[in-house]
Structure 1
Amino acid sequence: MGNNNSLSVLTEDLLEEYTILTYLSKGEILHLYKVFSRLAPNGILGDLNWRFPCENLEEIFTQLKYNPFKDRIFRVFSSQKDGLMSFEDVLDLCSVMSERCPDKVKAAWAFQIFDFDEDEAVGTEDLMNVIKRLTSSAGFISETDQKHIIKILMNEMDLELSGRVGIQEFVHAVGKMSEFPHSFCFKF
């Protein structure tokens, strides 16, 4: 941090705390602070609680710009669920999307993203939404095919046979998918 006054709000103690609470290194946190500061009116982020519109964050995280789940990602990681994100919200997002984040933690956050109706379960409608978002650019998938895919997914994930997938069932199912951790990750 040295003599750079623009980083004075990010003290050594706070930086150390962030490294303990996230899966990010000090260097990554400092980099995120520098990049995030570009959004501040004067180019200096003097208040770590200042909340920025999620649309502005697409300038920083271009990998989310065309993500079919970007609205859900921003909603889930916005601590106030208000379409705005603070620096700490961004740290949470980047921590989960880092390669060092454990698969089970990633899966728990993915569960929240896929729980579109926010009823603490992934049900048929949530899965229908996931399929539509994943296939919208690839072309149309018939409703019959969508229902067939959902039936297969529910047979595999709904261990309690409740017609809905709870977080533990979801984490268990995602744990069997070797490619999941790599698809729920990005560089920043």
Structure 2
Amino acid sequence: MDYTNDPECKIPPALIVNMPELKENPFRNRIVESFSEDGQGNLSFNEFVDMFSVLSETAPRELKAIYAFKIYDYNVDNYLCKEDLEKTLNKLTKEELTPEEVELVCEKTIEEADLDGDNKLSFADFENMITRAPDFLSTFHIRI
């Protein structure tokens, strides 16, 4: 792959998700898809650099929040619904919780974070929720 001779070339997701920095991350596929303009995980050089910039320890909280929301929004409807939260929780816990426990955690999360009562989390709801999570910045990064 020669970027100098073909500046439009894309890095395929299979190469990216197997990088040491992402290989063990349960969200590696969603991370790559979220930064990919084509939505399939193929990254241009600029998208690749953007991904590592956002995931760096020095990126601002607001930028990290935008991409965390995109990563967790599995159905890409600009909301985190119960199904999105279930998938996220199952990834985080390596599916070690029972379906009942997952459902309870997701219901409580929506109950506590849903400010407008529509039974799903908008970006504003999500942003408000993570402001109460002091460890968000320290956990939403990868070391390069």
Is contact 2:16-2:32 (8 Å) kept?
no
When Rg is computed on C-alpha atoms for both structures, the one with the higher figure is 1
CA separation in 2, counterparts of 1:175 and 1:96? 18
TM-score normalised by L of structure 2: 0.91
- Counting only pairs closer than 5 Å after superposition, residues 10-159 of structure 1 correspond to structure 2 as 40=1, 44-46=2-4, 47-59=6-18, 61-136=19-94, 140-159=96-115
Task: Name the CA distance, whole Å, in 1 between partners of 2:78 and 2:24.
Answer: 26
Using the alignment, how far apart are the partners of 1:87 and 1:121 within structure 2?
A: 29
**Matches of 2:126 and 2:62 in 1, distance apart?**
10
**Structure 1 regions of 5+ residues with no counterpart?**
1-39
Contact 2:75/2:84 (CA < 8 Å) preserved in 1?
Answer: yes
* TM, length-normalised to structure 1: 0.71
Q: For structure 2, which runs of at least 5 residues remain unmatched after alignment? A: none
> How well do the aligned residues superpose, as a CA RMSD in angstroms?
1.5
How far off its partner does 1:176 sit? Answer: 1.4
What does residue 176 of structure 1 align with? 132
Post-superposition Cα deviations, 1:39-81, rounded to whole Å, max 9, x if no partner, equal x2xxx5304431011111245x312112111111111111122
Identity among equivalent pairs (%): 27
Which has the bigger relative contact order, CA under 8 A and spacing at least 6? Answer: 2
Equivalent pair of 1:48/1:88 in contact (CA under 8 Å):
no
Contact 2:113 2:121 in 1 (8 A): yes
CA distance in 2, matches of 1:83, 1:97: 16
Query: Distance in 2 between the 1:91 and 1:114 partners?
Result: 21
CA distance in 2, matches of 1:175, 1:169: 10
